[in-house]
Structure 1
């Protein structure tokens, strides 16, 4: 009888362990301890959009070379145009820069501005070499004005080595299942040796993962204006968001714009309405604001 009791106890423990291990619903993020780094635990992506192979929803017609709009709770494809075509993505690269930084640093950690970072062009906070800013302050600059100097400061300060940071960006892309993505730098600026590239499909994966794991970045990206007062560590900074849809399209709560001569206009938009959440990607768009508005109307219309 004693042996039977022990056996039953073991079986119950095993059953509970199995239930916990498999209880994650589709789209959740499970943390796996072997991927810990210091006190930070790196997340595993378990969510992917619905099947987009061969999908081209056709209407409406847009100039963007690549587009994908997804309902993120279900993974349903709402609109697709060449969703797995690889293209340069400009400053959308900074979404991965933000993710890698958050997985290795805390919001109140301070970063020192190098002369090289201060010299970055063109979009910048106008950081001064020797200043110290927190990660949160640098993220304000990245999301509101797409600050290249801020992204460089993060890349240099997170690991102490810019190239190591870029390696972490590419390693994270592989870990998330972003099979058609390459990061050449932390800013998204064009490079003669080869620019960063991705697909709309991969960028949906990255964006959803980031906002689920670090929902505070949605608040940052939805900020229309922020003033950072002068401190003993840095001068004051006054920044306004470049995301026009924040004030012109009800339900839009961020997320990231981009432009380079090679990539053209790029956009990640995040909108929440009537219990639905939609992430939309536009690459190589002739008019990202108007096309995003049209595709959001189309997407939410399909969700009624």
Structure 2
């Protein structure tokens, strides 16, 4: 835990200097001599997730983890990589026609949808909102088909991007994270996912989209009206939350990749298989981890909130 304190101390060093300059004692609440931010040596209490990690949001340095390098199914968190590949490709005003095949694809595994209709045309940018807020598997299919080109081409690009990022414990067999062809064929690790999250959140378009609680697409010549709301409970309920993505399948359970900024300090984390049945448990796991990290900081900087 001393190493943990030193790592995050480096992240918040500028804040700490200002605090000391205003007369706040350098020692934390326990009076420990080696750092301003004394965490419990046992880690956050009550976390249900089978796998989890918390990292600083600047470098991606993992600060606390559980099964950090164990590959497991990640469900719709896979859509983060789908979005990264699309955004990196550019041309986000490209008109994308929603293929009829997208609906059999969603229905086969009971995938969540953005309520798209076969043949309607939206821009890639609009579909990214449909992908990341309501977790539309229909939007994932449409984007993959357009940008692959084709599903296989797009999956190849997803895996090539993962390799370039050094995500050795990650593989994608589906652009939505659906269990196709098997429950375990799309997978990643907690450490890999926070690294992916850091890279994704460095993309301004991605960052803007996942910070949105709602998004409205008015009816146009080629599309229906759509009103999308985020599935990320943390974004609505936790101070400083700025994203990122939920996930849920039978094998993956309820998962959440998240980022927050409090007291000017970005933290990024993930919880995997927090519950078989409830996204609230995943949200609560994320809150426990974040509070464990932030509470000592906020006690030193009571006005930071």
TM-score by length of 1: 0.78
Q: 1:302 to 1:178 in 2, by over 3 A?
A: farther
**Does 114-123 or 81-90 show the bigger shift?**
114-123
1:216 deviates by 2.2
Gaps of 5+ in 1: 1-55
1:189 deviates by 0.6
What secondary structure does 1:282 align onto?
strand
Is 1:64 aligned to 2:49, yes or no? yes
Q: Which residue of 2 aligns with 1:195?
A: 185
Q: 1:148 to 1:75 in 2, by over 3 A?
A: closer
Is 1:90 aligned to 2:90, yes or no? no
What secondary structure does 2:115 align onto?
coil
What secondary structure does 1:254 align onto?
strand
Is 1:58–1:81's contact at 8 Å kept on the other side of the alignment? Answer: no
Is 1:57–1:80's contact at 8 Å kept on the other side of the alignment? Answer: no
Q: In the alignment, which of 212, 220, 223 is matched to residue 212 of structure 2? A: 223
Deviations along 1:161-199, one digit per CA (max 9) or x if unpaired, are 210110110011000000100101100011244420000
Q: Which residue of 1 aligns with 2:12?
A: none
Is 1:254–1:271's contact at 8 Å kept on the other side of the alignment? Answer: yes
1:280 deviates by 0.8
1:226 deviates by 1.7
Q: Which residue of 1 aligns with 2:132?
A: 143
1:302 deviates by 5.0
Q: In the alignment, which of 279, 291, 295 is matched to residue 268 of structure 2? A: 279
Is 1:189–1:195's contact at 8 Å kept on the other side of the alignment? Answer: no
Q: How does 1:40-119 map to 2 (within 5 A)?
A: 58-119=43-104
Q: In the alignment, which of 294, 298, 302 is matched to residue 300 of structure 1? A: 294
Deviations along 1:18-52, one digit per CA (max 9) or x if unpaired, are xxxxxxxxxxxxxxxxxxxxxxxxxxxxxxxxxxx
Q: CA RMSD in A?
A: 1.8
Is 1:266 aligned to 2:274, yes or no? no
Q: Distance in 2 between matches of 1:303 and 1:71?
A: 14
Q: Distance in 2 between matches of 1:290 and 1:173?
A: 29
**Does 226-235 or 216-225 show the bigger shift?**
216-225
Q: Distance in 1 between matches of 2:169 and 2:59?
A: 23
**Does 203-212 or 118-127 show the bigger shift?**
118-127
Is 1:105–1:158's contact at 8 Å kept on the other side of the alignment? Answer: no
Q: Which residue of 1 aligns with 2:164?
A: 175
Q: Which residue of 2 aligns with 1:124?
A: 113
Matched residues, number:
249
1:74 deviates by 4.8
Deviations along 1:59-101, one digit per CA (max 9) or x if unpaired, are 3241101000111225443321111111000000000000111
Q: Which residue of 2 aligns with 1:289?
A: 283
What secondary structure does 1:295 align onto?
helix
Q: Which residue of 1 aligns with 2:196?
A: 206
1:300 deviates by 1.6
Q: Which runs of 4+ in 1 moved over 4 A?
A: none
